[in-house]
Structure 1
Amino acid sequence: MSEILGSLWWLIISIGLLVTFHEFGHFWVARRCGVKVLRFSIGFGKPLWMRVGKDGTEYAIGRIPLGGYVKMLDEREYEIGEALKPHAFNRKPVWQRIAIVFAGPAANLILCVAFLWGMFVIGRPDFAPVVGSSAGIAAEAGLRRGDTVEAIGERATPTWSEVQMALIPHALDREDVAVKVRAQNGSQQTRTLRLSQLPAGFDERRVVQVIGLGGRHELIPALVGRVEPDSAAWRVLAEGDRITALDGDPIASWNDLPAAVAKLGERGGKAMIEVLRNGDRLALEIQPRQMKRDDGETFWGLGVAVAAPTPPQRDAVLRYGPVAAVPAAFREGWHQAGELFAMIGRAFTGRVSLQNTVAGPVTIGRAANAYASNGPAWYLQLLAMLSLSLGILNLLPIPILDGGHLLYYLIELVKGSPVSERVMAAGHFVGLALIASLMGLAFYNDILNNLVR
């Protein structure tokens, strides 16, 4: 399946699932409160499929699969008979209307925890939180290759993904953070990352790289893929050789080779290069030469190109038993909710770019396709985060969203009478403008981040 079709497919599946559960929350509580539901629709527009249930509710699937709605009996929209008035939404006590409106976001929050539980039980394959490279701020903090990152601040980091996610908020806030590591000799140490030194306007999408931290799984094996004719390595090295040392300096990855070659070139003379060839360990004599890049810049080189790296094998799994996964899912959901509120706060105060906080359907579709390709546990994690975002964003006090309706009903509780139709109409106009602006920003970000590359 191509990336475009895959992204479209997983976008429809993801949004359809989350919206269905959200609307089911409204539907279920409305029915329990005695409100007559006229239509339960997944998607908008003319129905592609529809049937009428025994309860008289129309169940439909609309042509536009990005959304859904529950249409309830409401005499503010049209006149209804006396017999049906007790079943109208507007006739229900305010606390029942609050419950019905809140049920949609609540359903998404429940679904988030359920997805996280499923992810923990299945087990999310990942990479071990072992440092592979360290430069810049990470090197200044004393982080070294082979260190196992056990915690960032107060957050445990059992996998490399947790390392990345834990660093992001501290980096965005430019606050120094303690890093607990286990060195290769087994000793427990605490380092301090001086994230307050991050440059202004750094790429928020590449936080870990800007800090100078790389995972062990990101290292490229020092495997020779091609030897240039008449180069220093010609008739010395062969395709398939794995370089293990140069002039006594160990070569753990291709990343180590340029510095070792430059050091040898500056020293002058020949040295021994150690390789593994067909299972045999060989020590061969070699001498770097001055070479030129395409831009004319000279450098010390051997005349070899790296072999196409194979995808690294995941060597860690984030997993809990079915019972232990319950509190773990609640903890993770609570933590992610806090991070989402913090991100909203950063966006409103200008501490983080809106380009990286508001995602449109293209970005969501690409992410869904990528996560689904990594396995069911990864896809469940994405669904959990999307469900959490949908639930919390719907609770924002913006008219036409669930949170806006809840605000009206809370005002009604305080003043003892419903908000006037004039105020509600004005609020809906403002809400539509805000939502339209948000959608415009989301599509703009999609074009900027995905289509213009």
Structure 2
Amino acid sequence: MGDVAASLLGIGNFLLGTIVPFLFVLTIVVFVHEMGHYLVGRWCGIGVKAFSIGFGPELFGWNDRRGTRWRVSAIPLGGYVKFVGDVGATSQPDSEEAESLSDEERRIAFHLQPVWKRAATVFAGPLFNFILTIVVFSVMFAMFGRYVAEPMVAEVRPDSPAAEAGFEPGDRFVSVDGAAVESFGDVQRIVSGRAGDPLVFVLERDGQLVKTVATPEAQEQTDALGNTVRIGIIGVVNNEVLGQPRHVEYGPLEAVGAGFEETGSIIARTGHFLTRLVSGREDRCQLGGPVKIADMAGRAASLGFEWLVQLVALLSVGIGILNLLPIPPLDGGHLVFYAMEAVLRRPVSERIMDVVYRAGMIMVLMFMGFVFWNDLVAC
């Protein structure tokens, strides 16, 4: 009896500690993404048949006064907005359905809209993901501010890239690889994603500017959520000896500016990581799928609601970037076709779109299988 009770307690803890936070994070990110498509589509005069959180069979739903079916479906790993006349990921209408559309439905059908309206509607999903991240960081900066460490070198590790490059205690970072830095965190953000890349450092030493080159080396570390990550380091330490971290408070407008800046920094670092990953310069185990995200959500929830909200912001950026990749059936793939249509002044042939879509779908399925393999077996 005790074993049964322990098992039930373990299942309950898993559901409350991992599954519920995971669904909370994923549902918010997916809802905001799909709401972007929905709101801009409606603003463009496009009719909406369905708005779904999740795929597969409907668990529950309702119809609004405009005839849109709002539903929650059984498989909570995404969502979709179905526009009038839009029956596939290629946004090409089925010939039978197209013929059956009434004159009123043809006026609001997705595939019959000007190309700019279709492009705006598709781009709105990732855009809303980025906006969500900006809002989250802006609110957090306004409420809590943040601690900033001065860009000072307190200690240089022996035999480290910094030691070889001639760094000395008391040096102050001025710029890294041409980018001005204002805090030690700025230095870490640049260096961490550049393992193996020679970087030019400009330092202030005794009132003089010193330029040197150091190549960050990769090192495994454990982050606050328990993930093992490989980051670039140069081997310098910043601590309270040479400048205690100061608390920076933000007014409303300043917080929004900081939110934009932080989101832009995350987008840039993510894009740089993906570029290095494709070229084989990053560890594939840094990629994770639903299993890893669920584990991170559980760990974030155990640290507090603030951490869970930060995970929402980070995942939202990731979903936005992923959907902008120029691969059908992702949003970026649609945008490529719309750009070609705008240049050619005619739609790309349905045959070509179908071939490219099938190839893109295979790539997406392979990527999904890859991250699942990483989650469950390889990493």
In structure 2, C-alpha distance between the alignment counterparts of 1:380 and 1:175, rounded to whole Å: 35
TM-score, length-scaled by structure 2: 0.78
Aligned-residue RMSD, C-alpha: 3.4
Number of the residue aligned with 1:225: none
Q: AA paired with 2:123?
A: F
1:83 aligns to 2:104 (yes or no): yes
Q: 1:319 to 1:412 in 2, by over 3 A?
A: same
The Cα offsets for residues 28-75 of structure 1, whole Å up to 9 and x where unpaired, read as 111122221111111112222201111111111112212110011117
Deviation at 1:372, TM superposition (A): 4.4
For 1:155 and 1:120, the matched residues in 2 are separated by 22
- Number of residue pairs matched? 345
Q: Does the aligned pair in 1 maintain the 2:84–2:110 contact within 8 Å?
A: yes
Per-residue displacement from partner, 1:377-435 (whole Å, max 9, x unpaired)?
A: 54444333322221122111101111111111122222222222211211221111110
Q: Which residue of 2 aligns with 1:424?
A: 353
The one-character-per-residue Cα deviations of 1:148-177 (angstroms, maximum 9, x if unpaired) are 878655353546x555323212325x2134
Partner of 2:194: 170
**Counterpart selection for 1:52 from 38, 47, 63:** 63
Using the TM superposition, give the Cα deviation of residue 10 of structure 1 relative to its aligned residue in structure 2, in angstroms.
Answer: 2.3
Alpha-carbon shift at residue 8 of structure 1 (Å): 2.7
Question: Could you tell me which residue of structure 2 aligns to residue 443 of structure 1?
Answer: 372
After TM superposition, the score normalised by the length of structure 1 is: 0.66
What whole-Å deviation, never above 9, does each CA across 1:320-360 have from its counterpart, x for those lacking one? 2212122222222223222222222212222223332x221
The answer for the alignment partner of 1:238 in structure 2 is none
Whose Rg is larger?
1
In 2, the alpha carbon distance for the partners of 1:70 and 1:34 equals 15
Letter in 2 for 1:403: G
Matched, 1:195 2:215: yes
Distance 2:132 2:145 in 1: 18
1:5 shift after superposition:
4.6
| SS class of match (1:350) | coil
- Corresponding letter in the other structure for 1:71: K
Rounded to whole Å, the distance in 2 between the matches of 1:378 and 1:360 is 19
Structure (1 or 2) with the greater helix fraction: 2
Distance 1:47 1:95, change over 3 A: same
Q: 1:168 to 1:54 in 2, by over 3 A?
A: same
Q: Which runs of 5+ in 2 are unaligned?
A: 1-11, 87-92, 222-228
Shift of 1:370: 3.6
Matched position secondary structure for 2:140: helix
Rounded to whole Å, the distance in 2 between the matches of 1:7 and 1:425 is: 39
What secondary structure sits across from 1:9 in the alignment?
A: helix
Query: What is the one-letter code of the residue matched to 2:348?
Result: V
1:289 corresponding residue in structure 2? none
The answer on whether the counterparts of 1:151 and 1:181 sit within 8 Å (CA) in structure 2 is no
Q: Displacement, 1:191? A: 7.7
Partner Cα distance (1:394, 1:109) in 2: 12
More off after superposition, 76-85 vs 124-133: 124-133
Taking the TM superposition and a 5 Å limit, the aligned residue runs for 1:149-298 are: 152=176, 154-156=179-181, 158=183, 162-172=186-196, 174-178=197-201, 180=203, 192=212, 194-195=214-215, 198=217, 203=220, 205-207=229-231, 211-214=234-237, 216=239
Q: What residue number does 1:102 align with?
A: 123
For 2:37, which of 11, 16, 26 is the aligned residue?
26
Residue 359 of structure 1 aligns to which amino acid in structure 2? G
Q: What residue is the counterpart of 1:229 in the other structure?
A: none
The whole-number CA distance in structure 1 between the counterparts of 2:324 and 2:79 is 17
Rate the CA distance shift 1:407–1:443 in 2: closer, same or farther, 3 A: same
Give the match for residue 280 of structure 2: 350
Residue 335 and residue 375 in structure 1: after superposition, are their counterparts in 2 closer, same or farther (change >3 A)?
Answer: same
Match of 2:262 in 1: 332
User: Could you tell me which amino acid in structure 2 is paired with residue 331 of structure 1?
Assistant: E
Structure 2 residue identity aligned to 1:134: R
Task: Please report how far the alpha carbon of residue 363 of structure 1 lies from its aligned counterpart in structure 2 after TM superposition.
Answer: 2.3
Alpha-carbon separation, structure 2, partners of 1:124 and 1:361: 31
What is the alpha-carbon distance in structure 2 between the residues aligned to residue 116 and residue 322 of structure 1? 12
Structure 1: which 5+ runs fail to align?
218-251, 253-313
Structure 1 distance, partners of 2:42, 2:15, is 40
| Residue of structure 1 in register with 2:334 after alignment | 405
Whether the aligned pair in 1 keeps the contact of 2:36 and 2:128 (CA below 8 Å) is: yes
2:129–2:316 contact (8 Å) kept in structure 1: yes
The one-letter code matched in structure 1 to 2:285 is: Q
Question: What one-letter code is carried by the residue in structure 1 that aligns with 2:74?
Answer: R
- In structure 2, relative to structure 1, the CA distance for the partners of 1:335 and 1:105 (3 Å cut) is same
1:118, distance to aligned residue in structure 2 (A) = 1.6
The amino acid that maps onto 1:26 is H
> Which residue type is aligned with residue 168 of structure 1?
S
Identity %: 35
C-alpha deviation, 1:215, in angstroms:
5.7
After superposition, the Cα gap between the structure-2 partners of 1:14 and 1:133, relative to the gap in structure 1 and judged at 3 Å, is farther
For the residue of structure 2 that corresponds to 1:83, the secondary structure is helix
Counterpart position of 2:157 = 134
- Decide whether aligned partners of structure 1 residues 92 and 380 sit closer, same or farther in structure 2, where only a CA change above 3 A counts: same
1:403 aligns to what SS in structure 2?
helix
